Amino acid sequence: MHDLVIRGGTVYDGTGGAPFTADIAIDGAKISAVGDVSDKGRTEIDATGQIVTPGFVDIHTHYDGQVTWDPYLQPSTFHGVTTAVMGNCGVGFAPCKPDEHDWLIGLMEGVEDIPGTALAEGIDWRWESFPEYMKAVEESPLALDIGLQVPHGALRAYVMGQRGADLEPANEDDIKQMSELVVDALDAGALGFSTSRTEKHRDKNGAHTPSFKAEQAELHGIAAAMGKADKGVIQLIADFWDFEPEFAMLRGMVEVSGRPLSLTIEQDDRHPDIWKKVLGGIGDAAAKGLPMRGQVPPRPTGVLMGLTSTLNPFLLHQTFRTIAHLPLEEQVKELRDPAFREKLLAEEPDYPEGQIITMLCTAYHKMFELGDPPNYEPAPEDSAGTVAEASGKSPREQVLDWMLERDGNALLYFPLMNYVGGSLDDVRTMMTHPNIAFGLGDGGAHVGILCDASFPSTLLTHWGRDRTRGPKLPLEWLIHGQTKANAEIVGLHDRGILAPGMKADVNVIDFDNLRLHAPEIVHDLPAGGKRLIQKASGYTATIISGDIAFENGVPTGKLNGKLIRGAQSRPAGVQIPVAAD
């Protein structure tokens, strides 16, 4: 008798091959059979009419603090994620000296929009070194598997102190110490090293992230040490506004190390064609045998604005600021008062030139109703600007009316990145490039303005089933991208494929009825901190290490998750179709 048998599902095995009908038997933490399973299971799942996939591997999350108090890492686990990699973009909480706790919290609060009060209340600082942080995570209850990366910002501050935070160049001794600490972490099982070179990343006081101006000697020194250790991946984000020298320096990290590197690719309205140069540079590097990839999103990086979120289009209005501190019910009452409305709508704030906040407050052609289910590829004619023109309202009035729906709980959708053309055609070009990975969901981060941890569900529903404004993409290819392909990008060859001997991380999905719900604000962070979460219907069961960890998105209480220590080899004797490898 098997521990668990999944019966009669349509199997998408993660290799990218055509689906097939089969049973899947699981014993212990591993898959024991795929095919016609005659023996019974102690537990059985009838998957008739449903699809069965490997568990999803999310290589870009920011649960570095949340993992120490939340075993379920929601909202990612609402969307079939069974492995989450954190420590991205050069921010995290280790290594960290005792007197740097507040500073690191301020950095994470600013860069990733995670309430500092929640982090201060929730984190139990049981570490200083990165290996000690790994031990603390390992000892925490976990429902899913966790991989960690060494964040450059914390590393720089640990070695250089205030000089690191002040963006001073690292000297030879600094570089030597940082390199040794990265190798120590890799030896302890860290999956990689991450850094940030974007002006968007600033601490809560507006200061640049410590790695923003790190020079070539520092970056190449750390990369060379990783190469000598022959361990770890490199992850980064950069603006590439001065493309040639910047890309050459970052490509040099791969040249001196031989280690795989992935970097963020997004389309910025202010520089709408840089992403094409970055993809071209990655393609050229890959053609020369350098393991470089772009991490791309399956939809816009979408800011959610409203009275309950961190941002709304009236944030810079002095009139609105007079009520911003009030409870929601009282804000709504004031905003419905004709005299208050008139004063607010007539006011012209001082918008800072060239800043993203100005775009968020005034670009009415990119403001949309979110809807339920949410529409992540809205048509230009549905924007606040166009709808207002048709109805005889001002765009500002239209936005205010939308915000007041659902008693002030309604959210506006602003596709900040990846929507210059008013469709996802450019995103599709990114997604189908041969040298990309699916990522950038940012689970655990930007909790008051974004909710993109649902990217795995968008890949299945929008691109695999529902898209009407352009071509869809093959479901087997989409599943391959967020299972086997993503797992192997970070060195995890023991998961991501449904085959005997592989790790038993599995999703059973009612694909025909799979749907995303609208994001909602909850106040469940430590100290009552608020955040956006987004649920989905259709995830019948998510199995982690052989046990059902989630049923219909709800935790069962099984805590089979583990800290992943280092790259994982494919189990001996596992047979994978040759065509898929």
User: Domains in the chain, please, with CATH?
Assistant: 2-54+498-564+574-580 (2.30.40.10), 57-302+420-489 (3.20.20.140), 305-414 (no CATH)
DSSP states along 374-414? T-SS--GGGSHHHHHHHHT--HHHHHHHHHTGGGGT--EEE
Are 39 and 1 spatial neighbours (Cβ–Cβ below 8 Å)?
Answer: yes
User: Is pLDDT of 60 > 60?
Assistant: yes
- Report in angstroms the alpha-carbon separations of 523 from 308, 371, 448, 485, 520: 11, 22, 11, 35, 10
Neighbouring C-beta atoms of residue 545, cutoff 10 Å: 22
Q: Look at residues 192, 225, 264 and name the one whose alpha carbon lies nearest to residue 492.
A: 192
User: Is pLDDT of 581 > 60?
Assistant: no
User: Is pLDDT of 274 > 50?
Assistant: yes
Cis peptide before 500 (omega within 30 of 0): no
Q: Using DSSP bridges, classify how beta strands 2-11 and 51-54 pair: parallel, antiparallel or unpaired.
A: parallel
Phi, psi dihedral angles at 227 (to 5 degrees): -65, -40
Residue-wise pLDDT for 101-140, tens only, equals: 999 999 999 998 899 999 999 999 999 999 999 999 999 9
Please give the Cα distance from 442 to 200 (Å, whole number).
Answer: 15
Cis peptide before 338 (omega within 30 of 0): no
User: Is pLDDT of 334 > 70?
Assistant: yes
Q: Which residue has the tokens 């592989």?
A: 502
Are 417 and 301 spatial neighbours (Cβ–Cβ below 8 Å)?
Answer: yes
Are 315 and 357 spatial neighbours (Cβ–Cβ below 8 Å)?
Answer: yes
Q: Using DSSP bridges, classify how beta strands 2-11 and 20-27 pair: parallel, antiparallel or unpaired.
A: antiparallel
Residue-wise pLDDT for 64-80, tens only, equals: 999 999 999 999 999 99
Are 520 and 533 spatial neighbours (Cβ–Cβ below 8 Å)?
Answer: yes
Integer-rounded Cα Rg, in Å, for the chain is: 24
Are 68 and 28 spatial neighbours (Cβ–Cβ below 8 Å)?
Answer: no
Q: 7 — alpha (psi -120 to 50), left (phi > 0) or beta? A: beta
- Report in angstroms the alpha-carbon separations of 371 from 127, 374, 411, 497: 43, 5, 8, 35
166's tokens: 């002040």
Please give the Cα distance from 283 to 272 (Å, whole number).
Answer: 19
Overall average pLDDT of the 173-190 stretch: 98
Q: Angle, to 10 degrees, between the axis of helix 152-160 and the axis of helix 101-112? A: 150
Q: 20: helix, coil or strand?
A: strand
Return mean pLDDT, the chain. Answer: 96
Are 260 and 233 spatial neighbours (Cβ–Cβ below 8 Å)?
Answer: yes
Buried b (16+ CB within 10 A) or exposed e, 389-401: eeeebbbbbbbbb
DSSP states along 153-215? HHHHHHHHTHHHHTTPPP-HHHHHHHHHHHHHHHHHT--EEEEEE-TT-B-TTSPBPTTTT--
Q: Angle, to 10 degrees, between the axis of helix 243-257 and the axis of helix 274-287? A: 30
Query: Which runs of consecutive H residues, i.e. helices, occur in 435-515?
Result: 455-458, 475-480, 486-489
Please give the Cα distance from 47 to 7 (Å, whole number).
Answer: 5
**Side chain identity at 548, as an amino acid letter?**
I
What pLDDT does 355 receive?
A: 85
User: Is pLDDT of 167 > 60?
Assistant: yes
User: Is pLDDT of 577 > 80?
Assistant: no
253's tokens: 């990290």
Q: 267 — alpha (psi -120 to 50), left (phi > 0) or beta? A: beta
Cα maximum dimension of the chain: 75
Please give the Cα distance from 517 to 530 (Å, whole number).
Answer: 18
Please give the Cα distance from 189 to 173 (Å, whole number).
Answer: 25
What pLDDT does 578 receive?
A: 60
User: Is pLDDT of 353 > 90?
Assistant: no
Please give the Cα distance from 49 to 538 (Å, whole number).
Answer: 12
4's tokens: 């668990």
Q: In this predicted model, which residue has the larger pLDDT, 356 or 438?
A: 438
Overall average pLDDT of the 404-430 stretch: 96
Please give the Cα distance from 81 to 60 (Å, whole number).
Answer: 12
Cis peptide before 373 (omega within 30 of 0): yes
Q: How many helices (H) and strands (E) does the chain have?
A: 19, 24
Q: 80: helix, coil or strand?
A: coil
Phi, psi dihedral angles at 90 (to 5 degrees): 75, 10
Neighbouring C-beta atoms of residue 533, cutoff 10 Å: 17
Please give the Cα distance from 21 to 370 (Å, whole number).
Answer: 37
User: Is pLDDT of 237 > 80?
Assistant: yes
Dihedral (Cα; 148, 32, 476, 74), 10-degree rounding: -40
Please give the Cα distance from 24 to 40 (Å, whole number).
Answer: 11
